[in-house]
Structures are given as structure tokens and as C-alpha cells.
Structure 1
Amino acid sequence: MRVAVMGAGAVGCFFGGMLARAGHDVVLIGRPMHVEAVREYGLRMETRTFDEQVRLRADTEPSAARGADVVLFCVKSTDTASAARALAPFLAPDTLLVSMQNGVDNADRVREALSQPVSAAVVYVATEMAGPGHVKHHGRGELVIEPAPGAERVARALVAAGVPTEISDNVRGALWSKLLINCAYNALSALTQLPYGKLVEGEGVWAVMDQLLDEGLAVAAADGVVLAGDVRQAVRKIAETMPGQYSSTAQDLSRGKRTEIDHLNGFLVRRGEALGVPVPANRVLHTLVRLAQPGSSEEAA
């Protein structure tokens, strides 16, 4: 299977690397420094079960996706529309795009930009980029994928590559469940620059997270979402299963990058306003992260 990874950060490199390691033809599309390292040395995959240099292709241009059977679409939520439009000239009509992004509405925004089949995916993995061409895996690595033409083939390939994958008719509910988990952890981890295990040891943190979750559950109920699993229990377990993980929002802030907070707590704020559900705790964290991220002074001006 020919695979392109659009937005080769930690998530894209992990799943693209797993497929390449299993023998699939994979190209990573990313930033020049990362691409140069992969071209010269391969992708270093430092996981909990192996540490290898995986050979695969890498490029900086969306045109590298030409001929792909599937695109793992892993760009930041802020870049969804522009990245989809950049890919459009190079995709076959039946190329499947799998949106592996944070937030709940990215797949819909990809569909607005492209005519190809699109499958939303819920990603459960703890990873980070430890340097150019070096992805570090801290835990988990499962996927839940929405039904779409070609999704069964992709799921089989992922399972064979060692990635637990299921196809579900309630990906919307799973995406919302993950959104609520992210809204409980991401901003707090970012503002404190603490990993999950240390974060929850702080006095009053669980009470704040419970309030964030209560607000999110109320918005989801008002929006008619059937959540997947016990979200409250899942929030508690994250700190146990990923104690050393910093949120993606924390990683972005520490590297001086803009975050996806508008698509996490900010999304709940917008939906809460639209549905008449108050979300004061989420509003505070959304505001604080926006103030902490690069460009905040220009926005205020």
C-alpha cells in the first residue's frame, strides 16, 4: 500500500513509521529539517518495545502524495483547510484521507475542501518529536476509524503492522470523548509545563478537571452526542497510563508554537455559547493559553 503522511509530526511519524516498518511504501511530508534527517538517516522510532532506524521516503512538498492509496492527514487543526487544498491536485479520486487530528470537526472541514473519501480517526497514542527525524513513543497506539471506502483495507494494514485498529459507527462519540479528555488535561499541562502524573498531584487539580469535564459533558448532551465509553473514568486513567506525557498544547508552548486550543477548550466555548450552556472553566483556560501562545500581543493590539 502506498501511504503519504501529510504533516509528519509525532503522530504521523509514529503511524507512518509503523506502516513503513511493515513493508508499505510510505512518504513523510513535513518540515525541511525533519525531512533532511529522515533522508540521511531514516526515521528513528524509539518506542517502548524497539528502537530502530526505519527507512522511508520524506519530502517537503504536497506533490509527494501523488499516487498514494491513503493519506494520513496529521496537520494541526489550524492548518486543516489550507493543507487539504494543497493536496487536492495530487490525489486520485479514490484516495482515502484519514484525519488523525485533535478536535471533532476536522474531517468535516477536509470534506469541504476535497471530493475524495474522508475517514475521521480517533488517535490514542503518547508520542513526541525528540529531534529531527526522531519520534519517541511513550505509550498506547490505538486507532478508531470511521467507515469509508477503503477504510477496511487501511485498518487491516494497520493491524498487521502492529497498530490496534477498529472501525466504528460512533466515531463522533469517540472524538467527543477524546475532546473532553483533552480539554481536562491539555491546557493545564501547557500552563504549568507539567506531565500528567505530576499535574494531578497538585492541590485542587482534580476539582478543576472535574469542573472542566462537567461543562464538556453538558455541552455534549445539549449537542445530542452519544459519548463512547466512561469519559470520567478515562480522564482518571490517563494520569496512570501516561504519567510522563506532556500534552501537545504544552509541547507547542514550550517550542514557541501556536497551539490548537481554539479547537479544544475554545471549541467547547463556542458550542456552549451556541447551545446556551455555560462553560466558565473552559473559557478561562482557553483565554489563558491564547495569552501565553506566540502572537497574543499582536492579537490584543
Structure 2
Amino acid sequence: MTEWTILGAGALGCVIAGQLHQKGERVGFMLSERHRGHFHPNLDLITLSGRHQLIQSQPRFPEHARKVECLMVFTKAYHVLGALKELQHLPKSTPIILFNNGMGLTEQVKELMPDNPLLVGVCSHGAMKEQDWLVRHTGKGETWLGALNEAGKEWTHLLKPLAASLGHCEWSDDIALHQRHKLAVNAVINPLTAYNNISNGQLVEPRFHDVLEQLTDEVYQVIARLNGSDAESKDAFRRRLQQVIEETAINYSSMQQDLANGRKTEIDYITGFILKHADGIPVPVSQQLYDEIKRREA
């Protein structure tokens, strides 16, 4: 394979593109129509050490889909299906890796792209978009890949170049477990920071102690039941949540940024997933946050 194609030039997509490029991998960005005719600048990546590195990438548009060798999808969850539908000429042999936030899309993607090798990626690298084509890598993390269909299982060889570029990449036969682990953290941090218009680090302030505790308990109960015997302890989840809050203290969550800038959020795929699977577990804080964020969106 000679080029990775990134669909979704947000913070994480740009950081992953930068990491791949730094290891000599070629990267292209699949761009939307609003970018057509615009000057496509180099990506300016601020590394963990604070250095600026210019990352060269190739602009791609839907008519170039027939040349895509591996598609990595980082776009907003609610844009995934529409964006994939535009790639009418994508070869059926091209693997598609879904890195989007939240859960609830996989069955629809399998129905839309039944012949393509389909995979899910779960990545915990910290990333922050400071402006268009300027992103900051704010923290190292783990990356996990897993197959969504039988064809996806044939692409485990992608692990080697991804691990070399990202520092860690492993295969999971239960990728949904890793998705739920990530979603649990997002279902606490994202709606709380969006509702209160604060950075992640501000969640440790005393004024948020009670609501943080209650929301953490709600989310944990729902995810633990879904994970069954693989569920982590509540203390382990609290420690993991606290670690993410500390490591991303200066970051503003994607949901906070979307709401603050008048954009649609991914609340349906994060908190909405918790509400859908609560099934009798009381989740009043999650419900209140969901209702208020949906109201503000409207």
C-alpha cells in the first residue's frame, strides 16, 4: 500500500495523518465539496515536544475514490453514512476503518458497504484543533483495530505500519469492548463540558463534584452490564476517567466545541447510546444533559 486516505480532517484525523507522515507513510485527505477550488495548505502539526512540523498531504475528492487503497474515517458520526455514499467509485476491495466517536453506526455501514473489508479503530491519542490545518498532539494513547466483517479479518497486516507510526496498535477480536470503554469516558466528559462550556480539566473543580460522581455512576452501570464478565471495576473506571481528565486538562471536548460554535453534536451516538441501553437503570443526569444539549442544538 502506498497511501492512507483520511476522511475527516478534524483534530484526531490530522494528528494520525501527521504521525503516519513522520514515519514516511504517504497520506491523502478526502475532502468535501466546500474545499474544492480552495488552496490546500500543508498540515501544521504541533508535536508533543511543542515543535511545529509541516506535513504534506494530497487533496482527494470523491471522483478519486477509485484510487483509495485504505480509507480511515474520522468524520463526525452523523456524517459517516452520507460521506461514504459519495464515494461511489470506491473499490470493493478497499478496507474502511471507522474511527468515529460514539457507537450505533456499524450495522448501517455494513448494510451500505457489504462487500468492503470493514474494520473499527479505537484510538486514545489526545488531539486539539487550534485552527484550520493547525493541530496539536496533546497526548500519546493506545490504538486498537478489529474486524466488522469476515473480509476485515484479512487486514491484520495494517497493524505493523500503524504501530510504527502511532507507538501502539494491537488487534482485538472484541473491538466493541474497546469502543464501549472509550464511549464510557466520552459519555461523562463530553456532555458535562458541553453543557457547562468548560475545558476538560475544569471538571475537577469542587462545584462539579456531585454531578460528576452521579454521571460516572450512571454511565458505569450501563456499560458494565453491556460488558458482562469483561466489565472493569467501578474504581478502575474512575481511575481511567480521572487519568483522561488530567491528561486532556487543557483540551475542550469535541462536543463542547461543536455546541459553542453552533454545530450539531454527536450526543445521539454518545449519551444517546447510554440512554438506549439503560434498560431500567436510572440515568436522570444523562437524560437531562441529553435533553438540554438537544434543545441548544435546535
Which residue of structure 1 aligns with residue 260 of structure 2? 254
| Structure-1 separation of matches of 2:287 and 2:243 | 25
Q: Which of the residues 192, 198, 205 maps onto 1:201?
A: 205
Which residue of structure 2 aligns with residue 181 of structure 1? 185
1:1-301 to structure 2, matched below 5 A, reads 1=1, 2-31=3-32, 39=40, 41-49=41-49, 50-59=51-60, 61-87=61-87, 89-115=88-114, 116-147=116-147, 148-203=152-207, 205-225=208-228, 226-227=230-231, 230-272=236-278, 275-293=279-297, 296=298
Superposition deviation, residue 34 in structure 1: 6.4
| Structure-2 separation of matches of 1:121 and 1:165 | 9
| Structure-1 separation of matches of 2:190 and 2:103 | 15
Specify the code of the residue in structure 1 equivalent to 2:198. L
| Structure-2 separation of matches of 1:184 and 1:126 | 17
**Superposed CA offset, 1:96-141 (max 9, x none):** 1111011123333321210211111112122122222212222124
The 1:135–1:34 alpha-carbon spacing in structure 2 relative to 1, beyond 3 Å, is farther
| Structure-2 separation of matches of 1:73 and 1:15 | 11
In percent, how many aligned pairs have the same letter?
26
| Structure-1 separation of matches of 2:23 and 2:36 | 21
| Structure-2 separation of matches of 1:46 and 1:110 | 33
Question: Would you say how many aligned residue pairs link Structure 1 and Structure 2?
Answer: 288
Superposition deviation, residue 259 in structure 1: 0.4
* Aligned partners of 1:38 and 1:56 also within 8 Å: no
The 1:36–1:199 alpha-carbon spacing in structure 2 relative to 1, beyond 3 Å, is farther
**Superposed CA offset, 1:8-35 (max 9, x none):** 2111111122223322232112356767
**Range moving further from structure 2, 187-196 or 21-30:** 21-30
* Aligned partners of 1:17 and 1:54 also within 8 Å: yes
The 1:153–1:65 alpha-carbon spacing in structure 2 relative to 1, beyond 3 Å, is farther
Identify unmatched segments of 5+ residues in structure 2: none
* Aligned partners of 2:46 and 2:135 also within 8 Å: yes
* Aligned partners of 2:190 and 2:253 also within 8 Å: yes
* Aligned partners of 2:225 and 2:231 also within 8 Å: no
Which residue of structure 2 aligns with residue 299 of structure 1? none
* Aligned partners of 2:184 and 2:223 also within 8 Å: no
The 1:153–1:21 alpha-carbon spacing in structure 2 relative to 1, beyond 3 Å, is same
TM-score (norm 2): 0.88
| Structure-2 separation of matches of 1:56 and 1:149 | 28
Superposition deviation, residue 219 in structure 1: 2.1
Superposition deviation, residue 209 in structure 1: 2.1
The 1:63–1:42 alpha-carbon spacing in structure 2 relative to 1, beyond 3 Å, is same
TM-score (norm 1): 0.87
* Aligned partners of 1:5 and 1:29 also within 8 Å: yes
Superposition deviation, residue 224 in structure 1: 4.9
SS of the aligned residue for 1:95 comes to: coil
* Aligned partners of 1:33 and 1:132 also within 8 Å: no
The 1:171–1:65 alpha-carbon spacing in structure 2 relative to 1, beyond 3 Å, is same
Superposition deviation, residue 195 in structure 1: 1.3
The 1:141–1:29 alpha-carbon spacing in structure 2 relative to 1, beyond 3 Å, is farther
| Structure-2 separation of matches of 1:65 and 1:27 | 11
Identify unmatched segments of 5+ residues in structure 1: 297-301
Superposition deviation, residue 91 in structure 1: 2.0
The 1:221–1:234 alpha-carbon spacing in structure 2 relative to 1, beyond 3 Å, is closer
**Range moving further from structure 2, 211-220 or 152-161:** 211-220
Superposition deviation, residue 231 in structure 1: 2.0
Superposition deviation, residue 228 in structure 1: 6.1
* Aligned partners of 1:65 and 1:71 also within 8 Å: no
Q: CA RMSD in A?
A: 2.2
